[in-house]
């Protein structure tokens, strides 16, 4: 019998893998558990993903889209640079207030790269993509600092079950932005130097 053409099967397997990790964690992920969740033959999972690492890479790449989609769907980059910190803090708050399972899943897969080298390039993609967009509105060094800071804030909230404080996030993000070239801190210093006229006058 000819095998039924099923162009969406690969995607269904990835979606099933995300559900398995969400319910059972990384330890519960296997070709067999994913095949059962996707309701496909075991051979289908090994056909599309020969190793578990290949399946995890595809799963992480899809999970990585969560925050990136929230950022892309916001108007944060349409506002002036002076509002960038407030916009980023708001997007973080909306993302963390959404479906918590999806946020936790994204970070669980992200942190799995610590023990699975095959995942590290994909884990890095999230930060690189966000930093690339931020660099258009700040500069490359500041963009990387902002990504690291947002990453740290999210991990603190997730790992300590703390309440996300948007005002705090806005304040610390603004400190990074304002201290960068072209930030308000540099402009304020220039204003102060001009208040009393040139030195010696």
pLDDT reported for residue 148: 94
pLDDT reported for residue 130: 87
Instruction: Report which of residues 184 and 107 the model is more confident about.
Output: 107
Tell me the mean pLDDT in the region 38-49.
94
Residue 189 lies in a domain: no
Spatial separation of the C-alpha atoms in residues 68 and 130, rounded to whole Å:
7
Tell me the average pLDDT of the chain.
Answer: 84
If asked whether residues 49 and 110 sit together in one domain, one would say no
Tell me the mean pLDDT in the region 32-59.
94
If asked whether residues 133 and 91 sit together in one domain, one would say yes
Residue 83 lies in a domain: yes
Quote the pTM value. Answer: 0.76
If asked whether residues 174 and 84 sit together in one domain, one would say yes
> How many domains is the chain partitioned into structurally?
2
Model confidence at 45: pLDDT above 60: yes
Q: Which of 18-27, 60-69, 137-146 has the lowest mean pLDDT?
A: 60-69
If asked whether residues 35 and 123 sit together in one domain, one would say no
If asked whether residues 151 and 56 sit together in one domain, one would say no
Residue 99 lies in a domain: yes
If asked whether residues 40 and 89 sit together in one domain, one would say no
Residue 156 lies in a domain: yes
Q: Which of 13-22, 53-62, 104-113 has the lowest mean pLDDT?
A: 104-113
Spatial separation of the C-alpha atoms in residues 17 and 15, rounded to whole Å:
5
If asked whether residues 71 and 119 sit together in one domain, one would say yes
- What domain range is 13 assigned to? 9-62
Tell me the mean pLDDT in the region 150-157.
92
Spatial separation of the C-alpha atoms in residues 150 and 126, rounded to whole Å:
12
If asked whether residues 164 and 83 sit together in one domain, one would say yes
**Stretch (H or E) spanning 135:** helix 120-135
pLDDT reported for residue 182: 65
pLDDT reported for residue 197: 41
Percent of the chain with pLDDT over 90: 46
Question: Angle formed by the axes of helices 100-111 and 84-96, to 10°?
Answer: 100
Q: What is the CATH number of the domain that holds 29?
A: 1.10.10.60
In 106-145, which positions are buried (b, 16+ CB within 10 angstroms) versus exposed (e)? bbbbbebbeebeebeebbeebbebbbebbbebbeeebbbb
Q: What is the CATH number of the domain that holds 177?
A: 1.10.357.10
Residue 139 lies in a domain: yes
Residue 191 lies in a domain: no
If asked whether residues 125 and 177 sit together in one domain, one would say yes
Q: Which of 29-33, 70-74, 93-97 has the lowest mean pLDDT?
A: 70-74
pLDDT reported for residue 48: 95
Tell me the mean pLDDT in the region 74-82.
84
If asked whether residues 138 and 162 sit together in one domain, one would say yes
If asked whether residues 162 and 70 sit together in one domain, one would say yes
Tell me the mean pLDDT in the region 165-189.
78
Residue 193 lies in a domain: no
Residue 195 lies in a domain: no
If asked whether residues 46 and 127 sit together in one domain, one would say no
């Amino acid at each position: 019998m000819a095998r039924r053409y099923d162009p969406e099967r690969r995607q269904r397997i990835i979606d099933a893998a995300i559900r398995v990790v969400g319910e059972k964690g990384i330890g519960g992920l296997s070709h067999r558990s994913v095949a059962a969740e996707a309701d496909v033959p075991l051979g289908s999972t090994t056909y599309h993903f020969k190793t578990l690492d290949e399946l995890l890479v595809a799963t992480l790449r899809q999970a990585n889209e969560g925050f990136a989609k929230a950022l892309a769907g916001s108007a944060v980059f349409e506002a002036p640079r002076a509002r960038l910190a407030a916009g980023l803090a708001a997007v973080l708050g909306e993302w963390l207030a959404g479906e918590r399972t999806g946020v936790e899943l994204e970070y669980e897969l992200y942190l799995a790269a610590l023990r699975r080298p095959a995942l590290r390039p994909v884990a890095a993609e999230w930060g690189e993509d966000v930093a690339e967009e931020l660099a258009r509105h700040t500069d490359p060094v500041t963009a990387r600092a902002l990504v690291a800071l947002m990453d740290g804030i999210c991990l603190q909230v997730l790992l300590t079950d703390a309440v996300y404080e948007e005002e705090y996030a806005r304040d610390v993000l603004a400190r990074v932005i304002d201290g960068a070239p072209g930030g308000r801190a540099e402009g304020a210093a220039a204003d102060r130097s001009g208040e009393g006229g040139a030195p010696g006058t």
